């Protein structure tokens, strides 16, 4: 009965790792998935995470009971404070409902399912380009996906006018997906002044902002500065949704820890929204896992652990910035044709190189460098030792 089932293509991002794993070459380099690697090219478990984990494991009073449908209450409270700020009026007025979800993707999906069921407008505008999973998450939840202009390939910067024009002509009430910081894949963010203009436009048209916050702490190195865009929208008293992920900023990729917050107008509405989120979650995966959320809560609730985390986070962000500079310098020293300043201008984990899919295929075939076909490089996967190899490959790809 399944003989008609066609073989599905690999995922455009996670499939890069599948191809990389099959390559026997000793010089291979995986710059596909956005996952942090050390200078030695190895995955990193933060020492603060190890510390929290040890204390959790040694605490014999901890049990493995089911969490509530909404997850670990303490984790939810602390996650809301992390993104909205400890002094957030919306939190103080109990207008926020936060539920623990399966990392960023799970939070987006739960939010999208809720919107598809309870919000009057099914149209969602996502930036072009955006993370490859966004259109799939929203379409499968039953929303109609449209795009708004975001990136200008000629300047390798923001197409701000295009963004304003497209959101300006969106139907009233449409949902707008915004990357809170460190836009994936472009590494291009609006300035705070531009964010303010976007906010005014969104509010004046009654659009519904849905933030994806997957890189808090990775753009500027400061957790507060990276939440500024979201906090601007909370400060005006309006509604919004935020999906948070702890995959990158705590390195908890495989633990699948994230949160969805819905900011409402009143505490009473927030309570009703939460009751409906439970109806979305229960038939999907019942309730979320306990381990990763316990680690996050352990770190966020303790001032000194929190401070240690920010130091490690800054260390990761700084190493990525140094990789940008080293790659830029290596291309300059090779005299590689083109303006490569966007490598040092763009922020977050990725460089959107401008290389086309043919050039990427060439680099994979000849240099065993694995990256997404849109020319995105995960700078977090690069190390000083491997910069010359990457620069050689880029040079060869653009001069052939
Ligand atoms: C990425 O864009 O590489 C990450 O967000 C990982 C993923 O799940 O795609």
Give ipTM to 2 decimals: 0.93
**Pick from 81, 114, 113: which is nearest to 244 by CA?**
81
CA of 184 to the centre of ligand 1 (A): 9
Bridge partners, 148 (sequence order): 127
Active site residue 146: no
34 lines ligand 1 (CB under 6 A): yes
Tell which one of 36, 107, 133 to mutate to probe ligand 1, the residue whose CB is within 8 A of the most ligand atoms: 133
Please write the tens of the pLDDT for every residue from 304-324: 999 999 999 999 999 999 999
Q: Which atom of ligand 1 is nearest to the CA of 133?
A: 9
Q: What is the DSSP string of 168-195?
A: HTSPTT-EEEEESSS-TTT-----HHHH
pLDDT tens per residue, range 30-75? 999 999 999 999 999 999 999 999 999 999 999 999 999 999 999 9
Phi then psi dihedrals of residue 53, to 5 deg:
-60, -45
Give the whole-number percent of the chain exceeding pLDDT 70: 100
Return the sign of the alpha-carbon dihedral for residues 162, 207, 123, 226: positive
> Considering the chain, what is the average pLDDT of its residues?
97
Residues in CB range of 339: below 8 A, 6 or more apart: none
Q: Is there an atom of ligand 1 within 6 Å of 294 CB? A: no
| Continuous H helices in the chain | 14-22, 47-58, 73-84, 89-92, 103-118, 134-140, 160-168, 192-204, 228-235, 267-285, 291-301, 303-334, 342-345, 357-367, 387-399
Predicted pLDDT of residue 226 = 97
**Ligand 1 in reach of 377 Cβ (< 6 A):** no
Residue 170: closest CA among 116, 199, 207: 207
248 catalytically annotated: yes
- Ligand 1 in reach of 184 Cβ (< 6 A): yes
Ligand 1 near 187 CB (within 6 A)? no
Ligand 1 pocket mutation pick from 14, 16, 30, 33 by most atoms within 8 angstroms of CB: 33
The residue annotated as part of the active site, out of 189, 212, 374, 392, is: 212
Q: Is 212 a catalytic residue?
A: yes
The verdict on pTM exceeding 0.90 is yes
Q: Which atom of ligand 1 is nearest to the CA of 131?
A: 2
d(CA 185, CA 131): 6
Q: Is the CB of 372 under 6 A from ligand 1?
A: no
| Residue 221 confidence class, pLDDT cut points 50, 70, 90 | confident
């Amino acid at each position: 009965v399944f003989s008609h089932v066609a073989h599905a293509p690999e995922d455009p991002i996670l499939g890069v790792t599948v191809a990389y794993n099959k390559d026997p070459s000793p010089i291979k380099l995986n710059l596909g998935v956005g996952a942090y690697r050390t200078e030695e090219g190895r995955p990193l478990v933060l020492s603060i995470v190890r510390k929290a984990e040890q204390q959790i494991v040694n605490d014999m009073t901890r049990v493995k009971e089911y969490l509530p449908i909404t997850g670990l209450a303490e984790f939810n409270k602390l996650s809301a404070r992390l993104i909205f700020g400890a002094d957030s009026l919306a939190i103080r007025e109990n207008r926020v409902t936060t539920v623990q979800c399966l990392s960023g993707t799970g939070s987006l999906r739960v939010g999208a399912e809720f919107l598809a069921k309870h919000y009057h407008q099914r149209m969602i505008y996502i930036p072009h380009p955006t993370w490859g999973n966004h259109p799939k998450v929203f379409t499968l939840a039953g929303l109609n996906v449209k795009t708004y202009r975001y990136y200008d390939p000629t300047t390798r910067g923001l197409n701000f006018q295009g963004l304003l024009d497209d959101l300006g002509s969106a139907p009233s009430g449409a949902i707008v997906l915004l990357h809170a910081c460190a836009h994936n894949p472009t590494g291009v963010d609006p300035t705070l002044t531009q964010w303010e203009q976007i906010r005014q436009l969104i509010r004046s048209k009654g659009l519904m902002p849905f933030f994806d916050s997957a890189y808090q702490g990775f753009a500027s190195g400061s957790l507060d500065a990276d939440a500024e865009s979201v906090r601007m929208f909370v400060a005006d008293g309006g509604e919004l949704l935020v999906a948070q992920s702890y995959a990158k900023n705590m390195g908890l990729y495989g633990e699948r820890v994230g949160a969805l917050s819905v900011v409402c107008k009143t505490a009473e509405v927030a309570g009703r929204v939460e009751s409906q989120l439970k109806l979305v979650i229960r038939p999907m995966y019942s309730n979320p896992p306990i381990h990763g959320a316990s680690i996050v809560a352990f770190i966020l609730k303790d001032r000194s652990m929190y401070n240690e985390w920010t130091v490690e986070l800054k260390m990761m962000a700084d190493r990525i910035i140094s990789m940008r500079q080293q790659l830029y310098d290596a291309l300059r020293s090779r005299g590689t044709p083109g303006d490569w300043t966007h490598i040092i201008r763009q922020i977050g984990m990725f460089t959107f190189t401008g290389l086309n899919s043919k050039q990427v295929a060439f680099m994979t075939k000849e240099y065993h460098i694995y990256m997404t076909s849109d020319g995105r490089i995960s700078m977090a996967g690069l190390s000083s030792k491997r910069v010359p190899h990457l620069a050689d490959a880029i040079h060869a790809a653009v001069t052939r």
